[in-house]
Amino acid sequence: MIDLSGYDLSAHIHRYDWGGCQILLDVNSGSVQLLDDMSSRCLDMLATNGGDWNLTRASLGQDFKSDEIDALYSEFQDLYADGQLFSEPDDYVLDTGILKPKAMCLNVAHACNMRCGYCFAGQGAFGHPPALMDLETARQAVDFLLLASGERCSLEVDFFGGEPLLVKDLLFDVMTYARQREKESGKTINFTLTTNALLIDQEIIDWVIDNHIGVIMSLDGRPEINDLNRPLPGGQGSYDRVLPAIQAMVAAGPVSYYVRGTFTRKNLDFASDLQWLFDAGFNCLSLEPAVGEDEEYAIQPHDLPAVLSEYERLTEVLARIRASGQELHFFHYNLDLQKGPCLAKRLSGCGAGLEYIAVTPEGDIYPCHRFIGQADFILGHVSRTMLDTGIQVRFARSQLANKPECLKCWARFYCGGGCHASAYGRNRDLTIPDPVSCAMHKKRIEGAIYLDILDRIR
């Protein structure tokens, strides 16, 4: 049989139950198998017995016939030979020197026309006086990305804030400039707009459609939940104002869209918000947990049992909708399980500070939007061509290979070591992941794999 001496089954094999299915994930290959009782028990016993096949066979022999065990062992052998079971890890080290910026979060406005209670950006200003980007800085940001991206030809820019539509004329001008620079550089820039939707009107809709801009619009779900979390400056609710605007944008048919909600400690029954958003006519949805140290809104360790249970309920909502033949794209479950993440994401996560950067209204560059305002993480300025290599090295060294805890985790290739900002916010250390975020992410991966299995066996 397969020699499993020295093979870390807990790090390379993940077996779990969900919805009556017994599921196996071979971590290194990404292969997923649906197990019967005997194969499931065999894997559990192998883990208990340190990979000893003889001990495992003796235990199985108490309940199963010898020829059944022989057939199972033969099946395991075939999967092993095909690289789908007990696969070995590849080299975990990624040469981050080859990574160049390809995506930019362009914070055109550090100001906002809402007062969301959970806002990590302090109502859009990121802990500083409100500020709006000028056209020269915006143009420099576009030029910086085109130059810093090296040989990369497909780039991304997200108009972000605060609320970016507070400077809509700037957005129009930047888009015109960027399209001209695309022609001159031979590169393509894909644009997205992240907005609270309050200022969406027909002019904005036409601009989004004409320029093939993807849109991410915020709505937290049920009216009472949205208005609790996302009030206007005067304290009034925002639901009745933003819902028609979002519906009008979606009806216009943008190149892509997501309606993005946030769940907090105030709505741990967030599966109901997913259902509400779907019933409102939206089929591209995201529900993000509020994370961080804010004990009023952010998910805390003692909230995890309720949150993980709710993810199971949310998964059943998604399963019912899919079974009915209706289409629903849920962002966190879009894992592309047949192909898996690209190598860079498998080993280094989102690429903050290396492939992804954020720019403030003043032109300062940070590793990502969640580090904005922290002076120790200023990478540079759009008026200069160089980034702070010292800070980049810190992020390069926080890849998977340098996170011992992550190397033992079955979910490591789906997150590349997790969110740098969550790790730093929780531990003041880029290399130590945030356990709260990890627990939620692992649950989502299990749910996504379960849904994929349901699709395959229907």
pLDDT per residue as tens digits for the range 101-131:
999 999 999 999 999 999 877 766 677 789 9
Q: What percent of the chain has pLDDT over 70?
A: 95
Alpha helical stretches, state H, 90-167? 135-148
**Exposure of 244 by Cβ count < 10 A (0-12 exposed, 13-18 middle, 19+ buried)?**
exposed
For the segment 256-264, the average pLDDT, to the nearest whole number, is: 97
Q: Residue 41: helix, strand or coil by DSSP? A: helix
Task: Give per-residue pLDDT as tens, 269-291.
Answer: 999 999 999 999 999 999 999 98
> Angle at the Cα of 94 (from 89 to 96), degrees rounded to 5?
170
> Angle at the Cα of 86 (from 85 to 90), degrees rounded to 5?
105
Rounded to the nearest 10°, the torsion over CA 116, 192, 143, 172 is: -90
Q: Which two tokens stand for residue 406?
A: 């992550």
Q: Count Cβ atoms below 10 Å from residue 235 Cβ, excluding itself.
A: 8
- Stated pTM of the model: 0.92
Task: Give per-residue pLDDT as tens, 363-390.
Answer: 999 999 999 999 999 999 999 988 988 9
Distance CA 56, CA 43 (A): 9
Are 95 and 396 within 8 A, CB to CB? no
Residue 344 has pLDDT above 60, yes or no: no
Task: Output the pLDDT for position 66.
Answer: 95
Are 257 and 250 within 8 A, CB to CB? yes
Task: Output the pLDDT for position 291.
Answer: 87
Q: Residue 150: helix, strand or coil by DSSP? A: coil
Distance CA 38, CA 229 (A): 48
Residue 38 has pLDDT above 60, yes or no: yes
Amino acid at 454: L
Q: Cα-flanking dihedrals φ and ψ of residue 330, to 5°?
A: -110, 120
